[in-house]
Amino acid sequence: MIGSPPTVQLRSLNVGAIERLTAERPLRSGIRKHSVQGPVLCDTEGLVGDAIGNRTHHGGPEQALYLYSASDYAWWTTELGRECGPGLFGENLTLDAWWPAPRVGDRVQLGEVLLELTAPRIPCNTLATRMGDPQFVRRFARAVRPGAYVRVLQTGVLEAGMTGVVTRGNAEWPSIDALFRLWHETPRDKAALMAALRAPLASRARDAFMTWVAGN
């Protein structure tokens, strides 16, 4: 139907426990997620039963869940020559695909749960260790397929197979991909940074952008 809002399908719910990623290094993380069957409670901190290893950079109400898509995993499967699928990058929710140009402030209604996009995922060494590739942070940055963090505006129960209805945010707010590029570019465009600060960013991204604006 013309004018109907975009929809997405929730392919997988993924949770993890705190564990060592390699036998050689003491790094402990909850990035290694596995799919779970049946309903899972989602509160303002994310999926109940999921563990977060480093709360300095991950988790919290404004990065309560990390979303990635099966269509992006299909691209990575070709790129890496290995099967890539739900939970590999540590996401909590695997969608079938993204709607066109998802941006900060876009909302997804999944049953009683309402999510709002807040920031792109920024790759770190934990992801590189998880992938067994010291260069994976650079590869992830070049790919510009970051996935997105969300805040939970309405709590409730989630289950794989649910259909989500998307409500677009303010058209002036930046896309997730644009923010991801802005994070990695040098020098950073001050006008773009200031425009991003008018969007409902996650606080960690907001703090970084404010620091960069002040330093320009």
Give the separation between CA 30 and CA 66, rounded to whole angstroms. 12
**pTM for this one?**
0.94
> Domain extents for the chain?
7-169
Question: Which residue positions in the chain have pLDDT lower than 50?
Answer: 1
Which residues, listed in sequence order, are joined to residue 149 by a DSSP beta bridge?
66, 119
Indicate the Cα dihedral angle 110, 84, 121, 134, nearest 10°: 160
Which residue from 140, 117, 137, 123 is spatially nearest to 200, judged by alpha carbons? 117
Q: What is the CATH number of domain 7-169?
A: 2.40.33.20
The pLDDT of residue 55: 67
pLDDT at 209: 96
> What pLDDT digit, counting tens, does each position of 129-165 carry?
999 999 999 999 999 999 999 999 999 999 999 999 9
Tell me the pairing of strands 28-29 and 163-167. unpaired
